[in-house]
Structure formats: C-alpha cells, structure tokens
C-alpha cells in the first residue's frame, strides 16, 4: 500500500499542520513516509504545498511523480487546479469551496469548481463546518477530516495525532480541533 498525497493552499491556512498530523499518525501506525514542502512566499498568501508519501514499504523519493497522486487535498479551490497534472486516473480532489482571493484577477469561483467537477472530487464548505466546531481557524482540521477516508490511516490514529499536536494549547483547543476533524469526516461520508 502506498498513498501519495499533495496538500496545497496558501500561507497561513495550516497546510504544514495538516502534513505534520498525517506524518505523526502514519508513524504511529508503523508506516514509512517521506515529505517535502514548498513555501512560495514567506508572507501570508503565497502558495504552499506539501508532497506526502505514505507506504507499508520503504519509500525512496519524497516527490510524487506526475499522474501518481492519489489525493489532492486543497484548502483553497484554485490551488487544487495547480496540481491537476499530478492527479492519478483514480485519484480524488478534496477541496474547500471558499476561495482565498489574493490576486486581482482571481477567476469566478464557479468556473474553478466546474473544472474540479470534471474529476473525482469532494467539495467541502469548510468555513461553515469550522464555525460549527467553534472556531473558523479550525478550517484545516475540517479539511483533514474530509480527506481522512482517503489517507489509509485509521481515524482513531489521526485523532490521537491531533490530540498530541494540540495538547500543549489546552484541552479546549484539542476538543475543538477534534470536533472540526469529525465534522469534516462526517461530511465525507454523506
């Protein structure tokens, strides 16, 4: 089993937090992993991507070849289009529907969503689910939950990793992030 994941978004959306949680969960499950990151700009709004490869066998490269991504997890819809050449024929795009408009000529969101709909996809109203969990900043945990059925890692192991990641911020923060994760996972099952 090998799962190739590209996580994309813009700076400040928690892409590297998602990758770190998946990394921790994969190691807890005894899997091998390789991860690479690209930070487009250090300031908020620049493109950020992470290639994450998880397997039950040793992995020799952190970079996902073109056409081999099983999952594109995007925290912003237009960013998901940036990685389409990597999507495997049976791969899926899991993306938030809310645009992060950081350029003056950002396309109409419906045009972007229609392009995504040409592929296997899951669209997530992540902001509404994050607010339901208690904090709009939990947007990225909603998206992790929505992507969880496609990671090859048990939800309970992912929840343990979320707890470990946020325990230093207090139990209320842990519970809020777990709720966001669960709401995203429930959305994926509908």
User: With a threshold of 0.85, does the pTM exceed it?
Assistant: yes
Domain boundaries, the chain: 2-188
54, 151 Cβ separation under 8 angstroms: yes
The reply to whether CATH 3.40.920.10 applies to domain 2-188 is yes
pLDDT category at 102 given cuts 50, 70, 90 is confident
Cα–Cα distances (Å) from 28 to 21, 54, 80, 165, in that order, read 11, 12, 28, 13
pLDDT value of residue 43: 58
Is residue 42 over pLDDT 60? no
56-80 confidence digits (pLDDT tens): 999 999 999 999 999 999 999 999 9
């Amino acid at each position: 089993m090998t799962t190739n994941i590209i996580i994309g978004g813009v700076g400040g959306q928690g892409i590297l937090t998602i990758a770190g949680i998946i990394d921790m969960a994969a190691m807890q499950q005894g899997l091998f992993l390789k991860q690479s990151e690209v930070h487009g700009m250090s300031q908020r709004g620049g493109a950020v991507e992470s290639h994450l490869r998880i397997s039950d066998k040793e992995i020799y490269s952190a970079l996902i070849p073109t056409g081999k991504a099983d999952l594109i997890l995007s925290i912003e819809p237009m960013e998901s289009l940036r990685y389409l050449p990597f999507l495997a024929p049976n791969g899926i795009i899991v993306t938030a529907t809310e645009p992060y408009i950081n350029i003056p000529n950002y396309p109409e969101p419906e045009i972007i969503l229609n392009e995504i709909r040409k592929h296997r996809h899951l669209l997530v109203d992540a902001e509404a689910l994050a607010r339901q969990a208690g904090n709009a900043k939990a947007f990225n945990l909603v998206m992790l939950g929505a992507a969880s059925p496609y990671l090859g890692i048990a939800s309970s192991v992912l929840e343990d990793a979320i707890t470990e990641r946020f325990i230093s911020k207090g139990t209320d923060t842990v519970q809020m992030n777990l709720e966001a994760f669960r709401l995203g996972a429930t959305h994926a099952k509908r």
